Every structure is written in C-alpha cells, then in structure tokens.
Structure 1
C-alpha cells in the first residue's frame, strides 16, 4: 500500500512536470525567433509583372489581395495556418474576400486561368487553395506554394434565426467563437469539440460532436448552404433547392464549390457533465478491455444500453518524449448533467471508473468551456501531423493495434519534443445515420466502429519526414493486422486523414457516383478537382473548357 501511494505521488509529479514543460515550450515557441522563411519569388516583382490572373485579382478586388510585398500583412496571413509546416509554404498572394460576391469574382478569375491552362495543355495543379479555419495540419491542406490562397476568415458571422431553431454560421469562424456567440443566446449547435478548429472543414468532411449520439454527424445537421460554384455564381443548396448539391456537401468536402455560410439546426444550450481520468501506462490492458466491453454493450440492442446523452468516449495513450513515459487519458461527456454533479449512471456502470488513476475529475461545465478544455495539447505554430484508420470492435485486433503503437513509440522516442497521442473514438450504430442523409458510406453499418487516430507534435524540422513516414507506415501496419483478422473497415474519418490517404474509396460506389455526378454538373471543367490544391479529390476525368 505504501509503495502504491508513493508511486501515485511520483506519477502525479510527472504530470505536473509535463504540464510545466508544455507551458515552457509554448512560451518559448511564442517568444523565440521564427525559423528562416522560404524564399519569396514574388516579393520584389512589380504588380504589372505578376502573373495575369493575379493582376486580374488586383484589378477587380484591389482591397482583398495581400501581396508578398505587403510584408507584415502577408506574414500575418500566412501564419493564420495552424501548423508550422503549412506556415512554411509560401503562396504568391492571399485573397481575403469580404462577401460571397467578392469571392465569386475571385473564383471566376481563377476559372478563366484554369481553362486557359487546360486549353494550352499546361499544368493546372496548384493554381489555388481554399482556407477556412486553417487547422488541418496536412501538408498543403489549405495553402499552396506560389499559388493563390483564398482566405475565408472574414466569413465569420454567427446569426441565430429569430425563433432559435437554426443558426447561420460563416465558414471561416472558429468553433470556440461560434459557441461564445451562442452562449449569449442560450443556444448551441451540433459542432466541433476543439476550439482551434474551423467551421468549414469540419462540417464539409463529416464532424463529430458531443451531441452526435442524439443527432448524428455534424454534416447531417446542416439545413442549407450558401455556395460559390465554379463559374463564380452564388447559389443555395438545401433539401428543396439543388438537393443533389445539398446531399454531396454532407461529407464531400470542397469538391463542388466554396461554401460561404452554413445554416445549422440549433438547440437550447445546457451544462455538460465532463469526466477526466489519467492513468499510468501499465493500465493499458484494463483500459482497452473497458473500451471493448463498453462498445459491445452499447451496441447490443439491450434496453437502455445505448444512451443518446452519452457522448462518444475518448481513450488516449499519450507518449511524452521529454519524460520518456506513456500516460492514459480518458475523456467522458454526458450532455444531461445530473443534479448532484456526480458520475451519471451510464458512465458509472462501465469499466472506466474502476481503472486505477492518479488523477480524476468530474464537473458540470458549459459547452464552451468543455471545448476549450480539449484544445491544450498542441498550440498553434507547432510541427504537427495526424492520420487515421478504422477497425471493428474486435478484442484481438485492438490488442494488436496497441502493440503496433507501442513499437512506433520506440521508433520515435528520440524525436525532440515529441508529444504522441494515440486515440480511440467510436461511431455507434445507434447514431451514425441520424440526421439528414450524407455520403459517408455508413448507411448499412450495424456494428460499432473504432476510429484510430494518430496525432504528433515535435520541435525540429529535421524530424519532419521521419515522423510523417513512420506514422504512415504504422497506419499501414494496423490496416494489415486488422485485415488479417477480418476486422478492418473501409470507412475513414476524413477530418483526421493525412493528405496521402484516399477516404472516398470507403464511402461506397453509390455515394461516389452521387459526388461525381454533382462535380460534373456544378464544375464541368474540373476547377476544384484539378486547380484547387489540398483536400481529397474524387479521382475523375473532367472535360476541358
């Protein structure tokens, strides 16, 4: 007993030390000199010698274009990207429209350039990129070297309907700002769970919310969209107006146009119960068993097993290079806070409370503060990557996946400043098809799925390729291990995908057909398939202008 108590004190001290080191690293990141910037070939080019499409943007949208010669404004706009690697990708210029009409002009100009290049047989790739929140750490996810970045940060208004049933949100808003604005109105939406994440990317690619067990994916709760399509026109997509476009925007990302505003269903806000546990790494077998048993039970169909107020649990194994240890973190949410503020019966009856932990807390808090709480692991300006795959709830596969992760931590343990979370999240049959139909490909799924998510932050640029290639190889190993046990699944949670992944291969032929038909209809010459950098494409042939 005495030795266990001593160990608890030691581990608690480690956690305090880890928090201190993370704070110091964040402070150093903010105060130290920025790394050397990449060369900027357009920094000394007079406007009249810039490429013709940039000259056209300047002529038609003079107050919207930020050139490399506007050093301070340009650097600030580049640094809007969240990950350091994307801040090191330098576009030719940044276009920041203030409304849909200005954006439409910019898209029309880019389409003319795209069509001109297509007719001339010149490359069209990398002409432009679209950036909403800029949080995706994928290389070139929302920026492009020597191209045009369309920055949507001014589309950030949050406008509730008079009756409170819906909220119209600008695509460039951050979720934390959305929730703060809605707090004043006593409302909340089925939105993101992490404060730095932007509205546009999360909704268009799927999105999971604390309220997903009640309402489904975030994308399935968008009532309508305002979209700038390839010819520059501004259109509305809803269940009654352009329903084909409305359907494919629910998971189809930026393949059909640029969404400027989403109208989302809203509901009255209420306090959440949030439970957090931190355990030492040696508890991994018990944590994984509790996870497997929980998913098996809530998907059993037994009366009361599934509870729509229980947000999907998050189980994380976090390797911290600075102390050479792995910690286990469990995050639980219940959207109907108990009056006594104690553990809700749903969570109390699981295996999670019985895990030995050196720290645990439970409290009732606002939705906004719960979202802020999940945003502390990787501050802006860090070197970061992510990746994902999906497995079925098979105990042997879960154990094999964890063993692969442990081997990867050994390979990465010398990477300076490494923080390496390995996350388990669930998609349950009780909610995966709630809300409006989407194109995610889960229509016929009747079993729980596990989203395996990798995330890593580190310090030095020299480790970029090693970390990224190691995580890619790890994902491939997990896929092979799951396939060998027939517990793999083709679905990929697009919000967590690395840029090399091909998530639409798992959405099913019928959904892929719907997306390709919509792309040909609204973007026949392939502006967003071929000219737009970043995002996940539909792998289709497009007609030339």
Structure 2
C-alpha cells in the first residue's frame, strides 16, 4: 500500500488526489502562477487540529524522501513556498473562525481567515487589531513572517501583537504557546515561520478603531527626489501625529496598464490629526490621480490595496533592507529605470515595482516593548527602510530572463548600499524569495535560539527535513551576515 493509500485509508474524507474536484480547486488557489503550476501527489485538508495532529503522526512514518508542504493562504510568490511537487501538501483551508471575546479584549482567529473578514467583523464593534493591509491575504504567513501593519509605527510588527498560538507539533500534540506556556516556542513563532509546528489559531488583543484617513496618489517619476525628501521627513519625525501614520512609496513601471511613474499609499489611523508630513506627501506634484479619502475605513483601505495584487500572475518578489539614506534612494531609482527600460525590450509584458516601506525607530521600540521576537532587530538599528522588488511578465519561457534581471538589480542595489555603508543584514520574510537567507539575517544568537526551539519541539527534525517550503533554519555553523 502506497503512502497516499495509507493516508486515504486513515482520513478518507480529508485526502484528495489528482482528478478530484477538491484537488483541482486547491491546486489553483495560490496567489502565484508559479505555485499553481506545482503538482503534489495529493492535498490533505484536515478539519480540526486533532485530525491534523493525526496526519502528522502518519506522515512521520511515510517515505522520508517524499516532500511535505504546508499551505496557509498561499500568498508567497515562489514555487515550492507552500506546495510540494510530487509531494504531499497540507492545505489549511478549513481552519477558519473569528472568536471575539469582548470581555477580555481579544480575538482568536483561525489561520485561514483573511484580513477582509477579520476587519469587517471587528468593525461591527468599533474594533481592530494590528494586522495586514491586503484584504484577501490570510493571517497565517503574514503574521508568522513578521508582518507590517498600518498600526506598526505605534505597535510594532504584526507578530509582536500575538498573545497566543495554537500549534500542532510533529508528534501530533496540540499545544498552546504564550508568555507563560511554552514561552520559548512563543518567541520563536514571532518571525520563525513553519520551522517548529503548524499554527492553527492566533489570538490578538483588540483596540478601538474608528474612521481612518488615507488612500493613494499617482505622480510622475520625476517627483521621486521629492518623494524621497518627504519620506525622510516622515520617517525621522518626532511629531506624535506621525505615530498614527504609514506609507508605501513605489516606483512603478507597468506599461501594459498605462503606468510609468510613482505610486504613494498613505494612511492615518486618526483622521482628526493627520500629520503635516502625510499631508505633504499627499500633495506631491505632478499628480495624475488622487484617491485620498478624508474619512475612510480600515476595510476600505485593505480592499483598495488588494486591487494591486492580482492572482495567478508570473512574477518575482525579492527584498533587502537599508539604513535610511536619501542618497541611496535617489541612486536606486536610476538603477531601477535603466533596468526596466532594458528588460522591457526582451521580456514580453515586463513590469516592475520598487517599493519602500519604513521600519521606524518608533516601530522598533514598540516591537521591543511588546517582548522578544525572532527578528533580531532593536531600536538602535533604525530607522530602516524595506525595499521590495515585485516584477511581472507574461510567458513561461521568460521566467528565467525576468528572474535574472530582477536578481541583477537587487545585486546592484546591494552593492550601492554597501558602498554607501547603509546596507542592513535584515531580510523581511514576507517579501523574500527562495534562497535569500532570511533566518540567517536575524543574527547568530537568534539562529541558535531557533535551533534550540526546533530541537525541543521537533526532535526528529520533521519540519526541517521533510517540510520543504518556507525559509528553513540554516546550518548552525553557517556564516551569519553582519549588519
């Protein structure tokens, strides 16, 4: 009897092989075309944490060469991030639910809830949580990779705000992880991803949230130096009103959509006290489109952001972090423009966004104040700037040409950053591609801590040896990048 037959016999209503409607739906449910093209032997779709635990026990006894993947929302861009070619993919599609505890001021979420459903439910009570910014993204991967929020300047990373995880271990045991129960696992899950077990529920504190301010503008590419100046002013500001604010600024080259310029997304969680720095960014010229709303909602903002994230497209994501530097950001645009013009000549439908988002000193201090996480950052590291390259192209045969062009641009940007002494080791997991050495970027002490947690909760190394997706722990003797 094959491994698939054994699993099907044990879990007849939760194992779906090629040819079934359930398999077809699961195989096409990823964000990226690359992931949708991966063909596992079967999808496992457990209905409870206990059933998932039983599956993990069975999987530990299957062929050790058969890869296992774990699919949460499936929003990573690279093939194999949450799927296993000719392997076994655990699909967490059934782990939904929003359990709001008004008396204790917390909400517990199944990991496959998305931010649209969460915010809509919380808004019924005038509440929110520190969560994601794209409506259809599930809470699982974003939170366990760190996560950036409209509330991050005041509240830290999304992972900092989780107060409890329900986790299924390779042994099949269902455990809780919080500050007092399995506290080492609790810390490791804050940025450590799927290296220790499979999280099935997260608990977050809620807070009052009324209307918000924000939206986006589209401006000419010649405005980039002005954007850089305004970004610098916002990131370094000590104005209390800026703690309510957030921005995403991007150079955007998508000629097939008629876009070759810059996009600036702005928000304030307090529409009665929008900072002068946010107002200045909202008024940058020349301006071709202005979608700023003086009064809006968290739900509307994440819906708007979701419109920039179309499913089943071919494209690459990759990331780097720099110390805040005007000189670097101006030089970065020149490299970006040259790369776009050259690559568009030889790659059909090529497009690229170079996106900036800050990790301010305020955010890093809030992160520290919330308690330890796995990311290896401190307020002294800041202010930092995350840079994301997000490309698109049309044809399968141009996958490698597009990837090589994006990789070269990232290498060139890294060289400039190092030349200016503004390169920072940290890599934001949510935007990293395969091979970017995310866990290494957390620093040697955190790598040792994460290995200790792995060896304690997964002593046979199932999540290191068998679970191939995500960003794995590096060898203990690996070279860890310096800041």
Quickly name the TM-score band, shorter chain normalised: over 0.9
| Structure-2 separation of matches of 1:128 and 1:447 | 38
Partner of 1:478: 413
Q: Secondary structure at the match of 2:147?
A: coil
Match of 1:427 among 324, 349, 359: 359
Q: Secondary structure at the match of 1:326?
A: strand
- Specify the structure having the higher radius of gyration (Cα): 1
1:151 Cα deviation (Å)?
0.3
Partner of 2:264: 330
In structure 2, relative to structure 1, the CA distance for the partners of 1:167 and 1:323 (3 Å cut) is closer
Contact 1:319 1:421 in 2 (8 A): yes
Partner of 2:252: 318
Partner of 2:350: 418
Contact 1:173 1:199 in 2 (8 A): yes
Contact 2:28 2:36 in 1 (8 A): yes
Deviations 1:217-264 (A, max 9, x none): 000000000001111111111100000000110000110000000011
Partner of 2:116: 176
In structure 2, relative to structure 1, the CA distance for the partners of 1:278 and 1:153 (3 Å cut) is same
| Structure-2 separation of matches of 1:109 and 1:140 | 22
Q: Secondary structure at the match of 2:400?
A: helix
1:269 Cα deviation (Å)?
2.8
TM-score, normalised relative to structure 1: 0.83
Partner of 2:286: 356
Contact 2:221 2:262 in 1 (8 A): yes
Q: Which runs of 5+ in 1 are unaligned?
A: 1-47, 118-123
| Structure-2 separation of matches of 1:409 and 1:255 | 36
In the alignment, structure 1 residue 346 sits paired with structure 2 residue 286: no
Match of 1:282 among 222, 244, 260: 222
| Structure-2 separation of matches of 1:481 and 1:291 | 20
Contact 1:220 1:438 in 2 (8 A): yes
Q: Which runs of 5+ in 2 are unaligned?
A: 478-483
In the alignment, structure 1 residue 375 sits paired with structure 2 residue 306: yes
Q: Secondary structure at the match of 1:331?
A: strand
| Structure-1 separation of matches of 2:19 and 2:254 | 41
Q: Secondary structure at the match of 1:153?
A: coil
Contact 1:152 1:172 in 2 (8 A): yes
Contact 1:425 1:452 in 2 (8 A): yes
Q: Secondary structure at the match of 2:363?
A: coil
In the alignment, structure 1 residue 199 sits paired with structure 2 residue 139: yes
| Structure-2 separation of matches of 1:308 and 1:405 | 30
Contact 2:224 2:330 in 1 (8 A): no
Contact 1:441 1:508 in 2 (8 A): yes
| Structure-1 separation of matches of 2:163 and 2:309 | 32
Deviations 1:248-298 (A, max 9, x none): 100001100000000111112311100422111222222223223332x32
1:392 Cα deviation (Å)?
1.2
| Structure-1 separation of matches of 2:200 and 2:88 | 18
1:354 Cα deviation (Å)?
4.1
Partner of 1:142: 82
1:538 Cα deviation (Å)?
0.8
Q: Secondary structure at the match of 1:379?
A: coil
In structure 2, relative to structure 1, the CA distance for the partners of 1:161 and 1:482 (3 Å cut) is same
Match of 1:109 among 42, 49, 58: 58
1:307 Cα deviation (Å)?
2.8
Q: How does 1:32-71 map to 2 (within 5 A)?
A: 48=1, 51-52=2-3, 54-70=4-20
Contact 1:272 1:336 in 2 (8 A): yes
Match of 1:531 among 461, 466, 476: 466
| Structure-2 separation of matches of 1:319 and 1:150 | 36
Q: How does 1:219-238 map to 2 (within 5 A)?
A: 219-238=159-178
Q: Secondary structure at the match of 2:149?
A: coil
Q: Secondary structure at the match of 2:285?
A: coil
In the alignment, structure 1 residue 94 sits paired with structure 2 residue 43: yes
Match of 2:30 among 81, 102, 105: 81
| Structure-2 separation of matches of 1:456 and 1:479 | 18
Q: Secondary structure at the match of 1:74?
A: helix
Match of 2:339 among 408, 411, 424: 408
TM-score, normalised relative to structure 2: 0.93
1:446 Cα deviation (Å)?
4.4
Q: Secondary structure at the match of 1:103?
A: helix
| Structure-2 separation of matches of 1:66 and 1:452 | 39
Contact 1:164 1:266 in 2 (8 A): no
| Structure-1 separation of matches of 2:240 and 2:421 | 26
| Structure-1 separation of matches of 2:372 and 2:153 | 16
In structure 2, relative to structure 1, the CA distance for the partners of 1:334 and 1:280 (3 Å cut) is same
In the alignment, structure 1 residue 384 sits paired with structure 2 residue 319: no
